[in-house]
A = this chain, B = another copy of it.
Amino acid sequence: MQLKELSERTGITPASIKYYLREGLLPPGEAVHATRASYTERHIKRLQIIQALRHIVHLNIEQIRGILAMADDGAPRLAVLAQVQRVVLDLAVDDGDVTRTRAGDAVVRLRNWPDADSDARDALNRHIAVMESLGITLPMDLLDAYSRAVDGVAGFDLDLTAASTSTDDAILTAAVGMHMHSQLMLKMLALAQASHAIRRFDSPT
């Protein structure tokens, strides 16, 4: 198919598609000749992934390019997914001068996780430290409950990504899944807080 059809089938304007081509997010179509290119179903899928990463997960163009470039360079799937994690966790965040805790390490031991991925563990340690420095204490039994919940879902998510036929699919599943779980937590927390507030202030039993 050519550009126009690609645009119609994805709902993305030709101008935007050209932009994504320029930015290297979308691989060029096969050049039939100098002024005609042909695109495939893979391009449609790729555009859907770009849309999801942009507008659901809220990544910027550069972050998306970094992930997709790895995939296009034929990097092993696990490496690509590690990159997805790194970007979604936003490891570039500057935590400043908080004194680290080792609470994350404790979680790893508690859950009996193999502690190889130091990126994610460091991110967790840093994050817990930041929360503590903000006066949000995290007792071990809370970390226990969180990690237990997350332990269950991780195996399942892994099945999902492993079942993905293409690396592109795996990227989408992983990124959207992480984001959605985090948002789910936000919504549950809100509901829990609202419920507790009602119980505490509205019913002086």
Chain B residues with CB below 8 A from A120, complex form: 187, 190-191, 194
Task: State whether B153 touches A190 (Cβ < 8 A).
Answer: no
Which residue of B is nearest A188, CB measured?
Answer: B150
Bound complex: CA of A171 vs CA of B113, how far in Å? 36
A31 at interface by CB-CB < 8 Å: no
Task: State whether B185 touches A154 (Cβ < 8 A).
Answer: no
Which residue of B is nearest A93, CB measured?
Answer: B183
A141 at interface by CB-CB < 8 Å: yes
Task: State whether B195 touches A114 (Cβ < 8 A).
Answer: yes
- Report whether over half of chain A's contact residues are helix, strand or loop; otherwise say mixed: helix
30 contacts between A and B (CB under 8 A): A82-B194, A89-B190, A104-B191, A107-B191, A108-B195, A111-B195, A113-B195, A113-B196, A114-B203, A116-B194, A116-B198, A116-B202, A121-B191, A127-B183, A127-B187, A131-B180, A134-B180, A141-B152, A142-B153, A145-B149, A149-B149, A150-B188, A153-B192, A154-B189, A154-B193, A154-B195, A154-B196, A174-B193, A179-B186, A182-B185
Give the interface of A toward B (CB within 8 A): 78, 81-82, 85, 88-89, 104, 107-108, 111, 113-117, 119-121, 123-124, 127-128, 130-131, 134-138, 141-142, 145-158, 160, 173-174, 176-203
